[in-house]
């Protein structure tokens, strides 16, 4: 019937479906992150991952915390505090931070899967 409102039961079913899909998506993301962390710990050696950061960059902080949480070896420098770091950042002509050098390959932003791929290729 045109103009009729959905029943409370229909709305509850829709809400439960959305919650289930959202929960499954979050679980899948967390599982993928954990697998990436385990693989990075297994293959990353000191000096393989360099995080070029800015002191005001929230994404840099998130990347640092993720790497530390998962005990992935990495080095970090700050473009505002270190002239060599600033020169490396400028040499790569990166539009922002974090700039991740994974096995020498520049990656803009931090994505554990991309870091893993770059290290696998080097």
Closest CA to 41 of 80, 20, 67: 67
Residue that has been written with the tokens 């931070």 in this structure:
97
Q: What would the pLDDT profile of 38-76 be if each residue is shown by its tens digit? A: 999 999 999 999 999 999 999 999 999 999 999 999 999
* Tokens matching residue 16: 């439960």
Which tokens is 121 given?
């290729």
- Confidence (pTM): 0.74
* Integer CA distances (angstroms), 107 to 5, 22, 69, 122, in order: 50, 29, 21, 14
Convert the pLDDT of each residue in 73-118 to its tens digit.
Answer: 999 999 999 999 999 999 999 999 999 999 999 999 999 999 999 9
What does the pLDDT read at residue 111?
94
Helix or strand (DSSP H, E) at 110: none
In this predicted structure, the answer to whether residue 7 has a pLDDT above a threshold of 60 is yes
Please give the domain boundaries of the chain with CATH numbers for all domains: 10-121 (3.40.30.10)
């Amino acid at each position: 019937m045109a103009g009729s409102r959905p029943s409370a039961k229909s709305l509850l079913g829709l809400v439960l479906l959305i919650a289930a899909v959202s929960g499954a998506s979050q679980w899948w993301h967390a599982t993928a992150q954990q697998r990436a962390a385990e693989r990075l710990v297994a293959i990353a050696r000191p000096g393989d991952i360099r995080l070029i950061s800015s002191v005001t960059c929230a994404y840099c902080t998130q990347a640092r915390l993720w790497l530390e949480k998962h005990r992935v070896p990495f080095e970090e420098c700050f473009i505002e505090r270190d002239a060599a770091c600033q020169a490396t950042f400028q040499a790569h002509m990166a539009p922002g931070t974090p700039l991740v050098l994974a096995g020498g390959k520049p990656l803009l932003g931090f994505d554990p899967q991309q870091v893993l791929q770059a290290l696998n290729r080097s």
